Structure 1
Amino acid sequence: MTTLAQVLTPNAATDNAIVIPGGPTLSYAALSNEIERVAGVLAAAGVEAGRSVSIVLANNLEFMITFLAVARAGAIAAPLNSAYTVDEFKFFMEDAEAQLAIVPPGDHAGRDSANQLNIPTMDASSTGAHVVIARNGSELTLTKDVIPPSEDDVALFLHTSGTTNRPKGVPLTHKNLLTSLANIKDTYALTPDDVAMVVMPLFHVH
């Protein structure tokens, strides 16, 4: 297990599930398949490995799927607080050198910011357990096989809080994130029988 997407593999044959409050319940196998499909959609739409994708979504299914799909496609997930202002979005998107911004459908400051920076946008929404990736109002369905990333590839790009100065970008590799996951599992002695509830914003580092 060397990349984020592979974390789901050991559970794919079990009855364990991911529960989205107010939304669907997915088996690990279904979640893994949806991540693979969306990664293929993003790759077919021109998302390049090794470059960042700004994710401007709330705590929901589409955030989780697109985050992991971006990483699965070999690109770099750069999640942002969906409540940022236009100027804040512009700073973070520009600093991350985003190749794409994934935003909610409709009017949104994240979309306005990307447009001002000439960064392409795609919409992400969901119908049941199906995540819809759309461009100009039309769902993208064409997929493409993606090359698995390596453990040393950057998977996540976050910024420091900027308490004393401007926020600084911090790249984290798949290996960094898996090491953090292993530390959490060991610290709390977690087993496959345990249930974890995530209440923090998904754009935070955990």
Structure 2
Amino acid sequence: MNLSEQLSLTAQRHPAKDAYIFQGERVSYQEFDATVTKFASKLSELGYGKGDHLALVSGNSPLFMIGLYGALRAGTTVIPINPTYTVDEMSYILKNGDVKAVMTMDVLIEKFEVMDHDLDVGHYFVADTGTGVDLETSSLNEKMKSFTSVVADGSLDYKASPLDDQDVGVILYTSGTTGKPKGAMLTHQNLYSNATDVADYLQITSDDRVIATLPMFHVFCLTVCLNAPVMNGGTVLIVPKFSPQEVFATAEEHQATVFAGVPTMYNYLLQTGKEQAPTFRHMRLCISGGSSLPVALLESFEKQFNVRVSEGYGLSEASPVTAFNPLDRPRKAGSIGQNIKNVENKVVDELGEELPDGEVGELIVKGPNVMKGYYKLPEETAVTIRDGWLYTGDMARQDEDGYFYIVDRKKDMILVGGYNVYPREVEEVLYQHEDVTEVAVVGTPDPELGETVISFVVSKNPTLTEAQLTEYCRDHLAKY
């Protein structure tokens, strides 16, 4: 089984159910599946199939969903790319990823005009955004095909060739902290297993309406907000770009039941005020990921909006989810939860030996969701995946109940006079201060201690001083 086949099954079970809603347009699963088939048929007719790479460069829209599932059905490998990337950033991925076709929006075509001479792209499938972009005079005119026309000319009689579970379905380029981005190869098994396991773990059903305002090109949204709902017939509420007003309006109009966001989004939603809380009255679950959610923010949000926030953990190399706070057992604030179905997490020392509960070490992961490897980087793959275990680079600990806690990135640890300082620990303390809205902690070189800690703070109180915060920290943190 794979994502494409599951979409067809969902369409058979819930043909009239809304697959997605976008700017007032409702599209049923039957219609969605038919459009995907027609697009796949044209890709195949134009010679694209197994072994070919298609770049999907789009914002949140039906174009992304149709492009993803259509390309997968045709057997091609999809490479999602952030549409806001610069020409240099995008060009690197297109070349390194050996992209043969691009699916994009007309407003981005100027970027591709600059890059095309250095690429090996045969076709650009371009969606009309209604902004009046003149494509007739484009230097890429001969390579361009209207996405609308391509779909209209497609055939519903197309029969897709069987997909091998171990074939690569998606390559996600991770923006590492050092060096060039690496392409994490996710197989059809990786994608399908994580989508179904997340859907089951979070109890997503055909009654759910999930807000998708996270970027669709990002693996968090891709799995949690798109693929997981499709597995069980839920409805994706597509929000093109995050804004608190748009999220509240969408939640109110469509009686949204699930929201997924990163901590910054929760902070913005919280700061808009209590008057918006009623728009979340149908919400049964809010999901946080991407980075650690400060406990003070989590508790304030839950109190104001009267909804449970479940924090989880994932990374591109794991498709991405490995852990979530369970819905049928106690939620522990500050924890990323427990193993999801079919996935195992554990904390190990420098030698790869599992550590006792409470001790801090590196989090490693094993399961059907773990990537095949990095594209064209066998040595990097061998370092990251050892004996079937994915080494995440995140420092964590596990408690006696099997709940995991991310302490910090291994590379972010600050060494102060021989003491290990994890930025998140300092951030959590500062977030407890009533006047602090946001905080980021980093290390900086120090001639005596090796490194010292610096905090960048956003305050809601203009009279708050550095001296007051320093005194507060003295009362709540160890001296070093």
2:361 aligned partner: none
Q: CA deviation at 1:52?
A: 1.0
Question: Do the aligned partners of residues 91 and 37 (structure 1) sit closer, same or farther apart at CA in structure 2, a change above 3 Å counting?
Answer: same
- 2:31 corresponds to which residue? 30
Any idea what the Cα deviations from partners look like across 1:138-162, whole Å, max 9, x if unmatched?
A: 6342656431322221110011121
Deviations 1:74-100 (A, max 9, x none): 000001011111111110011111111
In 2: Cα distance, 1:152 partner to 1:37 partner: 25
Q: Normalization by structure 2: what TM-score? A: 0.39
Cα separation, 2, equivalents of 1:24 and 1:42: 25
Q: Secondary structure of the equivalent of 1:58?
A: coil
The question of whether the paired residues in 1 share the 8 Å contact of 2:22 and 2:62 is answered with no
Once residues 3 and 59 of structure 1 are traced to their aligned partners in structure 2, the CA distance between those partners, rounded to angstroms, is: 23
The letter of the residue matching 2:18 is A
Structure 1 residues 72 and 86: alpha-carbon distance in aligned structure 2, compared to 1, 3 A threshold = same
- Displacement of 1:193: 1.8
State the distance in 2 between where 1:203 and 1:162 align: 16
Distance apart, 1:167 and its partner CA: 1.1
Structure having greater relative contact order (Cα 8 Å, sep ≥ 6): 1
Please point out which of 139, 161, 165 is paired with 1:147: 161
1:81 alignment partner AA: N
Q: Deviations over 1:7-61 (max 9, x none)?
A: 2233324232123321521111111111011000111112131221111112111
Deviates more, 1:184-193 or 1:163-172: 184-193
Structure 2 residue corresponding to 1:195, chosen from 193, 204, 209: 209
| Paired residue secondary structure (2:38) | helix
- Is 1:80–2:90 an aligned residue pair? no
Q: What amino acid is aligned across from residue 169 of structure 1 in structure 2?
A: G
Pairing partner for 1:159 from 155, 167, 173: 173
Aligned with 1:122 (options 96, 121, 124): 124
Of 170-179 and 12-21, more deviation after overlay is shown by 12-21
Structure 2, unmatched stretches of 5+, are: 130-141, 221-480
Please name the residue that 2:326 is paired with. Answer: none
Q: Tell me if the contact between 2:173 and 2:183 (Cα under 8 Å) persists in the aligned partners.
A: yes
Could you tell me how far 1:182 is from its partner in structure 2? Answer: 1.9
Q: Structure 1-normalised TM-score?
A: 0.86
Pairwise CA distance, 1:69: 0.6
Quote the Cα distance in structure 1 between the aligned partners of 2:128 and 2:144.
Answer: 16
Matched length = 199
In 1: Cα distance, 2:65 partner to 2:160 partner? 19
Instruction: Indicate the structure (1 or 2) with the bigger Cα radius of gyration.
Output: 2
SS at 1:178 equivalent: helix
Q: Which runs of 5+ in 1 are unaligned?
A: 128-133
Secondary structure of the equivalent of 1:101? strand
The residue that corresponds to 2:96 in the other structure is: 95
Q: Secondary structure at the match of 1:50?
A: coil
Greater strand fraction, Structure 1 or Structure 2: 2
Q: Does 1:7 align with 2:6?
A: yes
- Read off the aligned partner of 1:75 and give its amino acid letter: T
Tell me the secondary structure at the aligned position of residue 20 of structure 1.
strand
Instruction: Kindly provide the amino acid, as one letter, of the partner of residue 97 in structure 2.
Output: A
Contact conserved, 1:56 with 1:80, CA < 8 A, in 2?
yes
Structure 1 counterpart of 2:22, which letter?
Answer: P
1:16 and 1:136 map into 2 onto residues whose CA distance is 33
1:3–1:175: 8 Å Cα contact kept in structure 2? yes
